[in-house]
Structure 1
Amino acid sequence: MELTEQAGAQWKQALDTAMFTVVTVFAAYDGESYADIPTVQRTVGFIPRETREERERRTYAVSDFAAMLGVRSIACHIGFVPEDAADPDYVAVRDLVRRICDHAASHDQTFALETGQERADVLLRFLADCARPNLGINFDPANLILYGTGEPIEALRTLAPHVISVHCKDGDWPPKDTPGALGSERALGEGSVGIGRFVRTLAEVGFRGTLNVEREGAAPGEWLKDVDEAVRLLKRLTAATAQI
């Protein structure tokens, strides 16, 4: 999609007409593939060197487009952050993220990194190293399970002060007999996240943002049904949590 001023005006008009509120504009990039973990490592986010510069420019354009819509947050998967802070890719991506944060700040926007592809402690150190006040987390509990990087409730408690937004998504752990495989996404409430505990923990750590349903793995005919049921489930869970 071309992120032009004309496209921004058309989207803004359509959203206003539908009375639809966008809380985050998420950046995705040509050439990304989520087929399995090795493919994600090679293709996703800012880690691949050959696409890094182009994707940085695209992210600036996404920030500008979000500003046209009046949206105050952008987000993306930055890829598998190396654990070694001296790794050249770590340094390059850290500096790139700083530049994106500074660009987003010119629009009074936050920039959220989506969880899943690294452990919570690695992500926490990376946030501190980037040292940008408008940098935070889009917390997706299912991704931690799908990538096998950590227990989501524990990770949420670790990252809670930095959580800007959340995805309500569910899934199961990767199969132990298939190295490199991702886990499987499930309809909300049918996977291993423990969505009731997740919603309660969000309340406990003081999160007051929107609960954004993400459903990617369903067949076209099931997608709307799964989203509708997820909304109903979240309404029941938030009502029950409010009574505790």
Structure 2
Amino acid sequence: MELGVLVALNHDVRNEMKKVRDLGLNTCQLCCFDDSFFTDEMVVLIKEASEEFSVRISHFWCGWAGPMVWDFQSGPSTLGLVPTAYRDSRMQTLVKGIEFTHKLGVSDIITHVGFIPEDPNDREYNGVLNCLQYLVQKCKERSIHFLFETGQETPVALLRMIEDLGGENVGINLDPANLVLYGKGNPVDAMDVFGKYVRGVHAKDGLYPTNPKFLGHEVQIGHGKVNFPALISRLKDFGYEGAITIEREISGDQQIADILESKKLLEALI
């Protein structure tokens, strides 16, 4: 395993890669919700910066446009591919993202699919499945894995969708905090359900929701409900050797301090 950090793609990608190196990290997940960045010129800039600072891009995290509300009230109708109102446009963005990932020479693309229905007989379930079959095929043609970021669905619903897709060139970016923040499961126990499909990991911590309208709170690693010693041990049990990507959803000096503290804690575990 090697440690990395989540990096937002912006116009100053060189400085972002330098920040990764200054943190003493070797890998990053590159994240972008704006497909205007998915250009050949940006591919060149990213590759040059990655090489200059010896930072490997482990995954490309592809977001999408349109309304997005990260809660339990409006989340189901605004997030991912589940809402029919935004499905087509987000499909187009993800197709662009797949091609962008391929040009970067990165093997895995990640996104939030949304609140996948628990009931496989729900009429929206097959609609999402059909969209994903198309995207997964696009990925397969380019030797890319399509990864579900955990959070809005239970581990069992996620496993069902992956197996309905055939389990080939699909996988999971395990965000253990998201399972807690959405109240969908214990991330260590979730490894028993889908551990063999994990191809990426976010190092993030959080607290369970106590208000049924809102997610729980993201917190510094070691201050939440994720048992990182047990989680890292389970990842090792499944033979996971990929990147552990630190994500801290605040900004400024405190974010840097928390990332460095997380790095220290995780280095002792891996």
Scaled to the shorter chain, the TM-score interval is: over 0.9
Q: CA RMSD in A?
A: 1.3
Question: Deviation per CA, 1:57-79, whole angstroms, max 9, x where unpaired?
Answer: 11111111111111010010000
| 1:124-163 to 2 correspondences below 5 Å | 124-163=159-198
CA distance in 2, matches of 1:199, 1:191: 16
User: Alignment length, in residue pairs?
Assistant: 235
Of 39, 50, 75, the match for 1:4 = 39
Aligned to 2:9: none
State percent identity of aligned pairs: 31
Deviation at 1:119, TM superposition (A): 1.2
Structure 2 gap segments, 5+ residues each: 1-33
Of 193, 198, 201, the match for 2:226 = 193
TM-score (normalizing by structure 1): 0.92
Deviation at 1:151, TM superposition (A): 1.2
* Mean Cα deviation higher: 35-44 or 166-175: 35-44
CA distance in 1, matches of 2:267, 2:190: 24
Q: Which has the higher strand share?
A: 2
State whether structure 2 residue 139 is matched by structure 1 residue 104. yes
Of 35, 60, 63, the match for 2:98 = 63
Aligned to 1:214: 247
Q: Is the 8 A contact 1:215 1:226 kept in 2?
A: yes
Deviation at 1:44, TM superposition (A): 0.8
Q: Which has the higher contact order (CA 8 A, sep 6+)?
A: 2
CA distance in 2, matches of 1:209, 1:191: 23
Letter in 2 for 1:150: G
State whether structure 2 residue 266 is matched by structure 1 residue 234. yes
| 1:23-102 to 2 correspondences below 5 Å | 23-102=58-137
CA distance in 2, matches of 1:193, 1:162: 20
Structure 1 gap segments, 5+ residues each: 239-244
Letter in 2 for 1:193: V
Deviation at 1:31, TM superposition (A): 2.4
| 1:10-29 to 2 correspondences below 5 Å | 10-29=45-64
Deviation at 1:132, TM superposition (A): 4.4
